[in-house]
Amino acid sequence: MNTDRRIRFGVIGCGLMGRHFAIAAKQWGMLRDFMDGPQIVAACDIVPDNLAWFKSNVETLVETTRDYRALLAREDIDAVYCAVPHNLHAEIYIDTIKAGKHLLAEKPFGIDLPANRRIMATVAEHPQLLVRISSEFPFFPGAQRIAAAVREGRFGTIIEVRSGFLHSSDLDPRRPINWKRKALTNGEYGCMGDLGLHAVHMPFRFGWRPVNVRALLSNIVRERPDEKGVMVPCDTWDNAVLATEVETAGNRFPMLIETKRIAPGETNTWYLTVFGTLYSASFSTKYPRTLWTLAYQSDAEQAWQRTDLGYHSAYPTVADGIFEFGFTDAILQMWAAFIDELIHGASMLQPFRCATPEEAEVSHRLFSAALESQRSGQVVELASMETPV
Ligand SMILES: NC(=O)c1ccc[n+]([C@@H]2O[C@H](COP(=O)([O-])OP(=O)(O)OC[C@H]3O[C@@H](n4cnc5c(N)ncnc54)[C@H](O)[C@@H]3O)[C@@H](O)[C@H]2O)c1
């Protein structure tokens, strides 16, 4: 990779997340002591208004197109960020990789297990390309502190892990249907496909992989109005509660994962709590500055300690030490991690890389096993999802 110039990106899908990426590129100056920022060269969407937004807001743009293949044909694009509905992941991700572009993809990385397997086969055929999946919450300073504590081996024997991602916008039954609320475009996983990789990325990175799952899935709002106000089926799972068992280094412990679109009072709450015999830690984006920790000592009183965190994330910024960290900051840090890995490979400037295809593949086996558990009412072993499709 040529490090003398900025990495040139194409963006496919200029909706909610495509725009967040464009905004993150503008914030690159936040990063201190870091390589040059990305340059968004071309944008693709099938909706003209979304392309108009890119034209107005992205100064480096030289082309907008409705045809993603035209974007992929450009030789001046090194990498692609792709944020499209789940039913398009396999086709567009595979074509992007085959076009020789590095890819920062969106989760769930294929609408279902067979789609994921097709993408994974293409990834395996192109080892020279960097393929990563968007998962920004681990870049919150509190989450980074938990990652550091895991690296330092501070927890002792893990007792239990709780991880989740909660929304409540779907509590409103008048909310119109969109592609995210239809199994055809969002996938049978429903809320697990939408929110699940966020909840499992860090545990999987730590090597905490479930061996089995008992899932409780709920479809609470079964109909929603379409754009004409006519009630139509809303056939995706709203909420998922997964009770899993993790086995690592001879230790078996419970890991409880919840992903919910209907969690009253929660707007974008990502959390991770780890209980260990020596140390416990808990962080939630609900309180973005607050990290709770408990260092256990025999015969000493047990007390949770609250640390008011600064802005310290993976990459130093001009805001270090003061100010609060938020969603757009996490996107910026995640994108920096992708570019850092693109330029420096295994010698990244800091140790936390973006979610990998292998981690996404494990999440697919977990969510597929969860669907099977919901159908059968039984505990399902993840090994039963190993059979190649
Ligand atoms: N990382 C996160 O925090 C996060 C948050 C929300 C969504 N997502 C993921 O991002 C992806 C997109 O979600 P979104 O919320 O941005 O959805 P969105 O509906 O806001 O945007 C999707 C865009 O894709 C466009 N599109 C559809 N077909 C296309 C095609 N053939 N070619 C080019 N563009 C096409 C649509 O017009 C739309 O603008 C999904 O995979 C979703 O799971 C990630």
C-alpha 174 to ligand 1 mean position (Å): 22
Which candidate, 86, 11, 15, places its Cα nearest to that of 49?
Answer: 15
Q: Please tell me whether residues 127 and 155 are part of one structural domain.
A: no
> Which amino acid, one-letter code, is at 98?
K
Q: What pLDDT score does 37 carry?
A: 84
What is the CATH number for 303?
3.30.360.10
Give the orientation angle of helix 48-57 with respect to helix 16-26, to 10 degrees.
10
Q: What pLDDT score does 277 carry?
A: 97
> Which amino acid, one-letter code, is at 114?
P
Q: Which residues contact 336 (CB under 8 A, 6 or more apart)?
A: 31, 34, 314, 315
Q: Please tell me whether residues 298 and 191 are part of one structural domain.
A: yes
Q: Please tell me whether residues 118 and 87 are part of one structural domain.
A: yes
Q: Which two tokens stand for residue 86?
A: 């789940």
Ligand 1, atom nearest to 50 Cα: 39
Cβ atoms of 286 and 269 closer than 8 Å: yes
Sheet holding 8-12, edge to edge: 63-65, 39-44, 8-12, 79-82, 102-105, 131-133
Q: Which residues contact 126 (CB under 8 A, 6 or more apart)?
A: 97, 98, 100
Q: pLDDT digit of tens for each residue in the chain (389 aa)?
A: 444 468 999 999 999 999 999 999 999 999 987 778 899 999 999 999 999 999 999 999 999 999 999 999 999 999 999 999 999 999 999 999 999 999 999 999 999 999 999 999 999 999 999 999 999 999 999 999 999 999 999 999 999 999 999 999 899 999 999 999 999 999 999 999 999 999 999 999 999 999 999 999 999 999 999 999 999 999 999 999 999 999 998 899 999 999 999 999 999 999 999 999 999 999 999 999 999 999 999 999 999 999 999 898 999 999 877 888 999 999 999 999 999 999 999 999 999 999 999 999 999 999 999 999 999 999 999 998 875 54
Q: Is 17 in the pocket of ligand 1 (CB under 6 A)?
A: yes
What pairing do the DSSP bridges indicate for beta strands 158-166 and 380-381?
A: unpaired
Q: What pLDDT score does 387 carry?
A: 56
Whole-angstrom Cα distance, residue 276 to residue 317?
A: 32
Cβ atoms of 269 and 260 closer than 8 Å: no
Q: What pLDDT score does 3 carry?
A: 44
On whether residue 44 sits in a domain, the answer given is yes
On whether residue 351 sits in a domain, the answer given is no
Q: Which two tokens stand for residue 355?
A: 């979610």
On whether residue 127 sits in a domain, the answer given is yes
In a 3-state reduction of DSSP, which class is residue 353? Answer: coil
Residues facing 11 on adjacent strands: 43, 81
Q: Is 322 in the pocket of ligand 1 (CB under 6 A)?
A: no
Q: Is 142 in the pocket of ligand 1 (CB under 6 A)?
A: no
Q: Ligand 1 atom 39: the closest Cα is on which residue?
A: 15
Whole-angstrom Cα distance, residue 49 to residue 127?
A: 36
Whole-angstrom Cα distance, residue 146 to residue 154?
A: 10
Cβ atoms of 92 and 364 closer than 8 Å: no
On whether residue 379 sits in a domain, the answer given is no
On whether residue 206 sits in a domain, the answer given is yes
Q: Which two tokens stand for residue 198?
A: 């966020």
Whole-angstrom Cα distance, residue 133 to residue 114?
A: 18
Q: Ligand 1 atom 25: the closest Cα is on which residue?
A: 13
Count the domains in the chain. 2
C-alpha 15 to ligand 1 mean position (Å): 6
Q: Which two tokens stand for residue 389?
A: 């499709």
On whether residue 1 sits in a domain, the answer given is no
Q: Is 9 in the pocket of ligand 1 (CB under 6 A)?
A: no
On whether residue 387 sits in a domain, the answer given is no
Q: Is 84 in the pocket of ligand 1 (CB under 6 A)?
A: yes
Cβ atoms of 337 and 354 closer than 8 Å: yes
Q: Please tell me whether residues 72 and 46 are part of one structural domain.
A: yes
What is the CATH number for 56?
3.40.50.720
Q: Which two tokens stand for residue 37?
A: 């920022």
Which candidate, 360, 338, 364, 352, places its Cα nearest to that of 80?
Answer: 338
On whether residue 345 sits in a domain, the answer given is no
